[in-house]
Amino acid sequence: MKIAITGGTGFVGNHLTSQLKKEGHHVYILTRSPEKHSDSERVTHVGWLKEEHKPEEHLPSLHAIVNLAGESLNSGRWTEERKQSILNSRIQATEGVLDLIARLPEKPEVLINASAVGYYGQSKTKSFTEETTKPGNDFLANVVVEWEERASKASEKGIRTAFVRFGLILGEEGALPKMVLPYKLMIGGNLGTGEQWMSWVHIDDVVGLIEFVLHNKNIHGPLNGTAPNPKRNKDFGHTLGEVLNRPHWLTAPSFALKTALGDMSTLLLNGQSVIPKKAITEGYTFKYPDLKPALHAILSK
């Protein structure tokens, strides 16, 4: 297959590209700065999202586009300007994908668009599946709703379109190293009450789920990219402490996190229990359905 990826030089994109290469596919990474990257036998970098770039002139007939582009949620305090930037980065990338599709002489069969479990809002008592159609009403939910609405325009062109709503992605990059640090310093513990849900997923299953959507023509619309066994923060922390052989004992008070991080503290203090019902029903087998083996696999490297 010939597959284009936006955000292909990031954490998820690197893992996905590596796996697709192993399987003999050719990956075209859409990037604003192709000159900064070296091509290889199965990876080609193509200029995108700048006026001088004409990606449609450098791409073959594509089987799929995977849109992973978007500014990180956890790289700074959420000022109003930053919130707008988080939204704009996702909308602009998605609009860029739609514009590219319109320019391609042959349309791809499928668009797989990254999304987030933030769609569901926050709850300590409910569990959510893809059958939950009413979104939350907070900032992240609003971002996801607008993001998915833009991506869904591809389906109007007859392209199978899926939104993979990722939870907390665990791997050697991303959020996990920041979570590990307090335990290494012997100050790990609950964040706030510790009752908030953490819907997590191992990076290998992130790649596996994207590939599953790629090959499974029955899947369109939302698909929850989470492991089937979410954990409350206190249980996640205890498990992390066990794997690292470090204590889980020092609570970080909610007020301190809110003072330090502002609205961004919602990433740590609030959450949702999200179940990947569609993936399970369609026959996906998780490599890491349970947290402890997932953490062991990452942290023992």
Beta strand pairing call for 160-166 and 110-116 = parallel
Q: What is the spatial distance between Cα 82 and Cα 77, in angstroms, rounded to a whole number? A: 8
Q: What is the spatial distance between Cα 222 and Cα 112, in angstroms, rounded to a whole number? A: 10
- Where the chain has pLDDT below 70, the residues are none
pLDDT at 260: 86
Q: What is the spatial distance between Cα 200 and Cα 227, in angstroms, rounded to a whole number? A: 6
Per DSSP, 131 falls in state T
pLDDT at 6: 97
pLDDT in tens, 257-277: 999 888 899 999 999 999 999
Burial grade of 300 (CB within 10 A; 0-12, 13-18, 19 or more): exposed
Contact 223, 164 (CB under 8 A): yes
Per DSSP, 16 falls in state H
Contact 257, 269 (CB under 8 A): yes
Q: What is the spatial distance between Cα 194 and Cα 238, in angstroms, rounded to a whole number? A: 10
Contact 163, 113 (CB under 8 A): yes
Q: What is the spatial distance between Cα 296 and Cα 240, in angstroms, rounded to a whole number? A: 9
pLDDT in tens, 161-174: 999 999 999 999 99
Regarding pTM above 0.85, the answer is yes
What is the number of residues in the chain? 301
Beta strand pairing call for 197-198 and 231-232 = antiparallel
pLDDT at 212: 98
pLDDT at 51: 87
Which helix (H) or strand (E) element contains residue 84?
helix 80-103
> The domain 2-299 belongs to what CATH superfamily?
NAD(P)-binding Rossmann-like Domain (3.40.50.720)
The distance from CA 104 to its chain's CA centroid, rounded to whole angstroms, is 26
pLDDT at 59: 97
pLDDT at 244: 97
Contact 37, 127 (CB under 8 A): no
pLDDT in tens, 44-75: 999 999 989 999 999 999 999 999 999 998 87
Angle between helices 139-151 and 80-103 (to 10 degrees): 10
Nearest residue to 129 via CA among 293, 280, 289 = 280
pLDDT at 77: 86
Give the helix, strand, coil percentages of the chain, each rounded to 5.
45, 20, 40
Scan for tokens 């979104």, then name that residue: 135
- Coil vs helix vs strand at 160: strand
